[in-house]
Structure 1
Amino acid sequence: MIQKHRRKQAAIVAGVGLGVAATLWGMKRWQALKQTPPVSPRSHHAGLAGYFQQVGDWRMFTRVTPNDDQGLPVVLIHGLVMSGRAMEPLALALARDYHVLVPDLPGFGASALPASAPIMSVDQQADVLWLWLQHNGFQRAIWIGNSSGCQILAALAVKHPQAVAGLVLQGPTVDRHARSLPRQLWRSWRNS
């Protein structure tokens, strides 16, 4: 009985220790990420530039390729818990043939949310993209979205169809009829 109690205490102490270590590691990584420039050094060296701009209430960061082709721009929209930095390799791959813009959505990456709107709906984010597009001097674009960025672009296409010359949805979010973890695991296993 005493041995069992000691093992239980040791397991609790080990669990708490791992939790504290993981928290400290996460805080250190978060601080390092906050110090990282919005455009990766490798992408910057390859010609990707970035700039901040005030779009209505939102201070947004945008990456842009050096191709100033006068055709329709291609705009890449990242998914949830990401930033446009995740789209840099695709932007560089498309840069030879297209003028590519990669904004950080409000509240992600280097873009900020105003204190008056700490949470934004999908429709609100679509409206911000519409304002952002006009602010950058374009009326239409070819849009490529990843993950939850697909939802935002679908809302943009419904609310502002004049802004959408083309739409590519890469890895749209979860089927609304299969949002539970067991169903997603089953589908993932079945697809694999």
Structure 2
Amino acid sequence: PSVGSMVRARWTALFRDTPQLHTAYSFESIVDELCFIIGPPLAATLSAGWFPEAGPVVALVFLLTGVWWLTALTATEPKPHPHEEHTDRSSALRSPGLQVLVATFVATGAIFGSVDVATLAFAAEHGDKSLGGVFLAIWAFGSCLAGIVFGLMHFKGKAEPRWILGISAMAVSMIPL
């Protein structure tokens, strides 16, 4: 399942229409970034110290345990919404908004993928593959700090300043150190 969507649905059900929803989303972002701060050095250290597959195996065990635990928490699941009938049968992919989202996520995935590959190649080229995880953790730490700062901000009024600030924070957090 999409763990991020499951967690955000729970936050939304718990804090709908309250200021705490922004804080809950920010907290989730911080926890996600902590995983990216701790995960790469741990995986690189395990793979370099034990055997090459050790890092991915430990990550898989953590992933399966976390997903199992979250899906077992049925008491926190939000109530399902009734299904609405739509008379318009055109493809959702024709929606301009969805097209922008798809393009944005493709570009974001390319950035994340290329940064990971380039960082690990840089570390290998300089003689220590396990440092790649440390470099990625430093990058994630910057994103975590941006999430903390953004989470501590409270906005009143229109959403445009929040949107512009959020895009700016994402842009700054994407700059490799």
TM class by smaller structure = under 0.3
Structure having greater relative contact order (Cα 8 Å, sep ≥ 6): 2
More strand by share: 1
Q: What is the TM-score normalised by the length of structure 2?
A: 0.25
Specify which structure has the higher proportion of helix. 2
